[in-house]
Amino acid sequence: MNKDRLIILPEVADAIAQNKPIVALESTIISHGMPWPRNVETALSVEEAVRSEGAIPATIAIRNGQCLVGLSKDDIEFFGKEKDVWKVSIRDMAYVLSKKLPGATTVAATMRIASMAGVRIFATGGIGGVHRGAETSMDISADLTEMAHTNVAVVSAGVKSILDIGLTLEYLETLGIPVVTVGQDAFPSFYSRSSGYTSPLRIDKPQEIADMLSVKWQMGLQGSVLIANPLPVSQEVEPGLIESYILQALAEADKQGISGKAVTPFLLKYIATHSKGESLEANIALIHHNASLAARIAVAMGW
Ligand code: PSU
Ligand code: MN
């Protein structure tokens, strides 16, 4: 690893050196997942949520040919406002770095950079997965393959139903990625605490999750653990409503010929715009909820 390409904010570098708990956060959610100015407000308040649980936040992005681990307030503003920010998954990293383009990192790229810096836990909203119709499109997010081999745990609110949740759970099993839901048997689907699927595993306490992560990595069992954190009851969005927006969004994506990396941002934006902000409020609430849980697990790990 060329150290000049990994710029760790001094506060984060100190935390790494002193084995203090750290939580990585992604930037695609800032640049491509939410409208300005709520994206910037959310990115800043999520960092506060991590701090209030006693951990240090490290939001990750790419700028000026460097991977940034920990963003300044100015950087967060930049990624929230700038129009031409690349959505960077693993395959885009070398290109965006060598061209010195600004890049917001997906779950996959954020995990990889977190791992390079020595950060072991990461909080996000929703992960990428197996898309509906993947049996013909082969659209399966690189988030899943990354989770198969990078030792960074991911806290999410489950899998969003823009994806095929059943196929995503199957694929996670194929890749050997444990899926643990916190506090309930049902696997959550982002806007809803249920999905129609039972979680493969259930753990109720942050300390027990921390124990499982320690055992996994001590045993040399490479890869992530998907920690599914159901959103608070008060924030749930009625599943029938979300499904109707998803079906409209999928039909519109098809009509406009949206494909490849543009699919997920297109669907997310369509749903956020058409649900009149209800989905955005739930999205913001659950990211805070996930960041707090990730921080509690990091504290329990004693890193
Ligand atoms: N799902 C969400 N919100 C998001 C994403 C997915 O509910 O913001 C973003 C994440 O950054 C994720 C990426 O890593 O989309 C997955 O994109 P793709 O499906 O193109 O791999
Ligand atoms: Mn895809």
How far is Cα 291 from Cα 283, in angstroms, rounded to an integer? 12
Q: Which of 128, 99, 97, 133 is nearest to 26 (CA)?
A: 128
Query: What is the pLDDT at residue 2?
Result: 75
Q: Angle CA(35)–CA(37)–CA(43) in degrees, nearest 5?
A: 90
3-state DSSP assignment of residue 275? coil
Ligand nearest to the CA of 259: 2
At what angle are helices 107-117 and 142-149 packed, to 10 degrees?
30
Query: What is the pLDDT at residue 303?
Result: 66
Query: What is the pLDDT at residue 134?
Result: 97
pTM, whole model, 2 decimals? 0.97
Query: Per-residue pLDDT for 223 more than 80?
Result: yes
All residues with CB under 5 Å from ion ligand 2: 139
104 Cα nearest atom in ligand 1: 11
Amino acid at 77: E
What is the span of the domain harbouring residue 123? 3-301
Residue percentage of the chain with pLDDT more than 90: 93
74 CB burial (10 A radius; 0-12, 13-18, 19+): exposed
How far is Cα 111 from Cα 114, in angstroms, rounded to an integer? 5
Query: What is the pLDDT at residue 276?
Result: 78
Query: What is the pLDDT at residue 171?
Result: 98
Any atom of ligand 1 within 6 Å of the Cβ of 27: no
What's the Cα-to-Cα distance from 275 to each of 109, 118, 240, 303, rounded to whole Å? 29, 39, 12, 40
Query: Per-residue pLDDT for 146 more than 90?
Result: yes
CB–CB of 161/244 below 8 Å?
no
Residues in the chain, total: 303
Cβ within 8 Å of residue 28, ≥6 positions away? 87, 88, 104, 105, 106, 107, 110
CB–CB of 244/252 below 8 Å?
no
Q: What total of structural domains would you count in the chain?
A: 1
Query: Per-residue pLDDT for 70 more than 80?
Result: yes
> Would you call 160 a catalytic residue per the annotation?
yes
> Would you call 83 a catalytic residue per the annotation?
no
Cβ within 8 Å of residue 258, ≥6 positions away? 266
pLDDT in tens, 38-52: 999 999 999 999 999
Q: Which of 201, 192, 198, 178 is nearest to 230 (CA)?
A: 192
pLDDT in tens, 175-185: 999 999 999 99
CB–CB of 283/294 below 8 Å?
no
Minimum CA distance residue for ligand 1 atom 3: 126
Task: Indicate the average pLDDT of the chain.
Answer: 96
At what angle are helices 263-274 and 239-255 packed, to 10 degrees?
130
Any atom of ligand 1 within 6 Å of the Cβ of 33: yes
As a whole number, mean pLDDT of residues 100-120 equals 98
- The CATH number assigned to the domain holding 229 equals 3.40.1790.10
